[in-house]
Chains A and B, each alone.
Chain A
Amino acid sequence: MAQNYYQKEIETMPIEEMKKLQSEKLVKQVKHVYENVPYYKSLMDEKGVTPDDIKSIDDLHKLPFLTKADLRDAYPYGLLAKPLEDCVRLHSTSGTTGRRVVAFYTQHDVDLWDDCCARAIVAVGGSKKDVCQVAYGYGLFTGGFGLNGGAHKVGCLTLPMSSGNTERQIQFMTDLQATILCCTPSYAAYIGEALKEQGYKPEDIPLKAGIFGAEPWTEEMRQSIQDTLGIKAYDIYGLTESTGPGVAFECSEQTGMHVNEDHFFAEIIDPDTGEVLPEGSKGELVFTSLDKEAFPLLRYRTRDICVLSREKCSCGRTLIKMAKPMGRTDDMLIIRGVNVFPSQIETVLLKEGYEPNYQIVVDRVNNNDTFEVNVEMTADKFTDKVSDILAMEKSLAGAMKIMLGINPTVHLVAPKSIARSEGKAVRVIDKRKLV
């Protein structure tokens, strides 16, 4: 694919130049935070760091971390760095665990965010000739407004569908010949199934590309969405705390996401010690905003486990790449001493032809961890013979053992008996009481 860039100078900037730009921006950003956010100033004071200690991006490690707990403590205005009268927008996380997190935006912040999403759309081949169907939720959730803003900047005809009402999604997609679909990967898969049920073949679907994010998904799921919709499916990464989708985006190579590092500087740290790890190491992803006005976060710990890489990319972008997050520090289970990420179970299920709908149940019986995985039976695999079904359970457990190194007990359960991921599905039930 011939490469187009939305902001070529930044996206293909030589690394040394980028470092200089990041350093200049960081010095200003730290000063802005120190002067306007008493909450972070006190964290810096505690650590004995002043803005004068931060002279370049190499000094970043001197700054204290921010965590989700800080954001909750500081709710709602504690991390705001601009007067409210300068703010034009607010977004919020779903707040499933306790207090919500709210993030504020000035017009400058919205513009910067829209630029990030515009880069993502152009990177998947989007231009003003495209019809971009945004089926992320519009509202407090950042998905809808983020991609909407990016699509406007690129000049696409933007269909602000929001999520849900699949019948209407399909009608607009086919009547208006949408070429780019933006939504969560699970909703893309759902729309794909609905199109298939209505008799659409991949070649009848006008879409050419999809930008899917806001929830973890696997390579196998990418393949299955690409096959059903007849498109290229691209990943996008973001978090409300930083801005929303577009913090990092995938290019034609589909081998990880370029971080918009002129706005968001990425580090990988050891989640236990907080020490910065060298490039290529697996650890917790930490983001520092470099030029935000209303809600600048310095060294925010995302809890996503991930790897960064500066290998040369065939798309010509020099922006550092992050791998698909392998899981979250707080999703990781330790079962019989082995680290298990739910995403690994999903990978096995898709590879073996099951729906990626599962529930892990962990318990401790006689000082031993029990590890059970409930998986939905599919119409293709169902047979009338008990022995066949028992063999399927055994073979699935075997495939999981190869992936995880420990052996689960697999139970096949009735279709649709495990809650769907419309809300937040409960994937893990840990009954161990270790206190």
Chain B
Amino acid sequence: MAIKQLTVFVENKQGTVVSITDTLAKNNINLRALSIAETQDFGILRLIVNDEAAAEKILSETGYLIKMTDVVGVKIGDAPGKLTAALKVLDENDINVDYLYAFMARTEKHAYVVLRVEDNCKAEGILEDAGFHLITKEDIDKI
């Protein structure tokens, strides 16, 4: 059920991110979501794309350090408090969220949240039991 996130190690140097997005664009890969975690030395670029296998291949060949990570995607309503509700359910069940990022759907009235947790299956079960709708690969393709 989990969706695939591409994780790229990037040096904190001018022009690194643009060269990655440029490489993807030239190979006709479309970005769905993107987040960067940065420290003083390095950054970790996290990407959801339309074709992760192709993106992984292209970026590795270009010399980037890539890791494919399973993450949980959940659909939430576009209204105040909706994200809190999802996070509360996880918290009540002792699921620690390492990081998350969110993006809006283009047409429908809701948002998507990408969550990184230790145990994907458990988190997905808990969210589904609480009535949340999980995102699948098909959903990503339709965005």
Contact = CB atoms under 8 A, between A and B. Distances in A.
B9 A377 contact: yes
Interface in B58-101: 63-65, 67, 69, 98-99
B42 interface: yes
B18 interface: no
Nearest to B38: A386
A417 B69 CA distance: 24
B65 A415 contact: yes
B133 interface: no
A385 interface: yes
Interface string B23-60: 00000000000000101011010100000000000000
Contact of B42 (A379, A384, A387, A389): A389
Contacts of A384: 5, 7, 44, 46, 67, 69, 116
Contact of A386 (B10, B39, B64, B67): B39
Interface residues of A, number: 18
A413 B63 contact: no
Contacts of A411: 41-42
Interface in A368-408: 377, 379, 382-387, 389-390, 393
B11 A390 contact: no
Nearest to B64: A414
Contacts of A379: 65, 67
Contacts of B42: 377, 389, 411-414
A384 B43 CA distance: 10
A414 B116 contact: no
A358 to B, nearest CB: 14
B37 A413 contact: no
A364 B96 CA distance: 42
Contacts of A416: 63
B41 A413 contact: yes
A392 to B, nearest CB: 11
A383 B70 CA distance: 12
A4 B13 CA distance: 57
B39 A385 contact: no
A386 B37 contact: yes
Interface string A268-306: 000000000000000000000000000000000000000
A413 B67 CA distance: 16
Contact of A382 (B9, B41, B98): B9
A354 B5 CA distance: 25
A340 to B, nearest CB: 21
A133 B25 CA distance: 46
Contacts, number: 50
A353 to B, nearest CB: 15
Given A384-B44, A384-B116, A385-B116, A415 B67 contact: no
Contacts of A383: 7, 67
A276 to B, nearest CB: 47
Contacts of B69: 384
Contacts of B41: 393, 411-413
Given A411-B41, A412-B42, A413-B11, A385 B98 contact: yes
Interface in A411-429: 411-417
Interface in B97-130: 98-99, 116
Interface string A347-366: 00000000000000000000
A256 B99 CA distance: 52
Contacts of A385: 44, 98-99, 116
Contacts of A417: 11
Contacts of A414: 9-11, 42, 64-65
Nearest to A390: B39
Contacts of B63: 415-416
A382 B10 CA distance: 11
B46 A382 contact: no
A348 B46 CA distance: 31
Nearest to A393: B41
A389 B44 contact: yes
Nearest to A388: B98
A393 B40 CA distance: 13
A383 B5 CA distance: 12
Contacts of B98: 385, 387
B116 to A, nearest CB: 7
6 contacts: A382-B7, A384-B69, A385-B98, A386-B44, A393-B41, A416-B63
- Please name the 8 residue pairs, one residue from A and one from B, whose CB atoms are nearest each other, closest first: A384-B7, A411-B41, A384-B69, A414-B11, A386-B37, A382-B65, A382-B67, A415-B65
Interface of A: 377, 379, 382-387, 389-390, 393, 411-417
Given A377-B9, A387-B98, 18 more contacts: A379-B67, A382-B7, A382-B67, A383-B7, A384-B5, A384-B7, A384-B67, A386-B44, A389-B42, A390-B39, A411-B41, A412-B42, A413-B41, A414-B10, A414-B11, A414-B65, A415-B63, A415-B65
